Amino acid sequence: MKKLLLAFLLLPALSNAQAPSCCALSGTQQFSMLASNEDFVASHIAPEPFVYAVENGSMITYPCSDGKDANAFVIKSPKQSNRWLLVFHEWWGLNDYIKQEAEKWQKELGDINVMAVDLYDGKIAETPATAQAIMGGLDQNRATTIIRGALKHAGPQAKIYTIGWCMGGGFSFNATIMAEKQGVACVMYYGMPEMDSTKVQKINADVLGLFAKKDKWITPEVVAKFQAMMKKENKKLTVKSYDADHAFANPSNPNHDKAATADAHAVALAFLKARMTK
């Protein structure tokens, strides 16, 4: 309890890249605690109402080791494939914006199954206040169980690719850690990186980090520390930072930076395609 209280008191320092050096909290735990930061909440504009006309995907449920089913939006590859792209939503949840992104990635990548994982067990936030409450109360153990269930659903022979934005960026990286030798490629958009070297040592995949230079939370200093840690552990990390604010490319952000979003998407697409031969 004392450690959690200390971490909470240190939250303002996170904006200056002073994450707890002891790694008492995971990157996704640190990010969830940003729900208590009013500046962070105010920086996220509510998504505009949007209903996506699904083309090829469908919602599924799959079992998890805690005895509960989890939800996901899945688009299967037109031809049989053992490649799986796990998509991780922002703090709004698995809404229609994410479903649209999932289908877009499947079309662009082709020979891959795409699975947009629901870390909120069906909850979707339409306002910052609701997102603040859901993300702040996220059960990290349940989220981990959901991801492990998704990896099991993909199968032991699956080649795992991941992508996520904001909160989902951190979970994209964590899923890659959990995938271990099955991991091939990870794309994380301005997620809080995991800094526990014992966890990072399990990574097999190449990692692409897309960050924002004006980000007050995942700051350039945090990114530099992440790069140093990955280099020390001899892990493959490519970083590209944009002269933009946090959430510049979030699918649900009405005020996204169009130029930076387009460039980041092109970089991510090229990164993933280059690893589709593995």
Per DSSP, the residues of 95-131 read: -HHHHHHHHHHHHHH-SSEEEEE-TTTT---SSHHHH
Q: Give the total number of structural domains in the chain.
A: 1
Tens of pLDDT, residues 233-246: 999 999 999 999 99
Is residue 130 scored above 60 in pLDDT? yes
Other beta carbons less than 10 A from residue 17's beta carbon: 16
What interhelical angle do 258-274 and 96-109 show, nearest 10?
A: 50
Residue 40's contacts (CB-CB under 8 Å, 6 or more residues apart) are: 34, 216, 217
Domain, as residue range, for 29: 2-274
Least confident residue range of 3-7, 165-169, 175-179, 193-197: 3-7
Element (H, E) at 163: strand 159-165
Residue 67 is part of a domain; what is its CATH number?
A: 3.40.50.1820
Please provide the average confidence, as pLDDT, over all residues in the chain.
92
pLDDT of residue 278: 66
Q: In the predicted model, what is the mean pLDDT of residues 112-134?
A: 97
H helix runs in 53-110, sequence order: 96-109
What residue has token string 């990290």?
A: 140
pLDDT in tens, 67-117: 999 999 999 999 999 999 999 999 999 999 999 999 999 999 999 999 999
Angle, nearest 10°, between helix axes 167-179 and 140-154? 50
